[in-house]
Amino acid sequence: MELFTVHEPTTRPIPLIANLPHSGLYIPQQIAAQLSEAYLPNQDWHLNKLYDFLPQLGITVLQANYSRYVVDLNRAIQEPIAGNFWSCAIPLETAFGQTIYKINPSQDQLQGRISKFYSSYHDKLEELLKEKVAEFGKVYLLDLHSFGGLIDDQICLGNLNGKSCSEFLISTVEECFTNKGLQVVNNKIFTGGFITKNYSQIPGVEALQIEVRYNVYLDLQQLDKQRHPDWNVPEFYQAKNIFKEIFNCLVEKLEISQ
């Protein structure tokens, strides 16, 4: 399997890149054999399918194909590399503190994952961003995620409390969501992770994290079960139709500002 997929625009490209670092679910067999759990929670379930219309709007999409439990692309490389779900590049436990390995990976295995899965992804993301800046003078980076807990809100936008993007970008995104009946909060718990912080430092790049609560687009009755929730459910299709309208609105408003 490819480490990641770049979905190029199928119409006139615009200076907007969508990033899906946590939507991949694949775990290589040699890693899966070390795990004590077959079901791993708190992944960005099926966002690749929810947002598969984005290239039709001129948006470039970078999508990770491997699970965040292989390596978490939204964490900085710092010691300890492996450990806590919320802070380490390679989690050894779930978001709830449950151990997930029968035998923890060795240091060589950890470094191998960073080299293979992490570095190549970030090299590509940086390349795409700089290409757009060179072409358009600026680029908007939308870092797309979903969540199941910590807050009860439907949509949370994070720009590091005003540091990673302009007020224009976050307010425009908020307006497009609220106009379609979705409830939005800004910088509430989910203020933006490593990707938002790191890439907003590139001149010409504005970065915004968008978190969507699971029950906005998935079957609520499946979310408490110890298995991957289905995407082929009515809730998913209803949400996807709304999201198409939201992102059409966003592209129109951002292009007006060019």
Overall average pLDDT of the 3-11 stretch: 97
216-230: pLDDT as tens digits? 999 999 988 889 999
Query: Is pLDDT above 70 for 256?
Result: no
At residue 56, does pLDDT exceed 60? yes
The reported pLDDT for the residue numbered 208 is 98
* Three-state secondary structure call for residue 30: helix
- Residue 255: the pLDDT is 79
pLDDT tens track for 126-176 = 999 999 999 999 999 999 999 998 999 999 999 999 999 999 999 999 999
Contact 213, 148 (CB under 8 A): yes
Q: Which two tokens stand for residue 235?
A: 């809730």
**Structure confidence at residue 257 (pLDDT):** 57
Taking residue 111's Cβ as centre, other Cβ atoms within 10 Å add up to 12
State mean pLDDT over 9-33: 96
The mean pLDDT of 31-53, rounded to a whole number, is 94
Average pLDDT rounded to a whole number, residues 58-78: 97
102 CB neighbour count, 10 Å cutoff: 10
Domain boundaries, the chain: 4-69+114-256
pTM: 0.96
Sole residue written with tokens 């700089």: 130
pLDDT (mean) for 243-249: 98
In the predicted model, is pLDDT for residue 207 greater than 80?
yes
Segment 117-134 mean pLDDT: 97
Q: What is the CA radius of gyration of the chain?
A: 18
Q: What percent of the chain has pLDDT over 90?
A: 93
pLDDT of 85 strictly over 70: yes
- Do residues 73 and 120 lie in contact, with contact meaning Cβ atoms separated by under 8 Å? no
**Cα angle 11, 17, 20; round to 5:** 115
Average pLDDT over the chain reads: 96
Domain 4-69+114-256 CATH assignment equals 3.40.630.40: yes
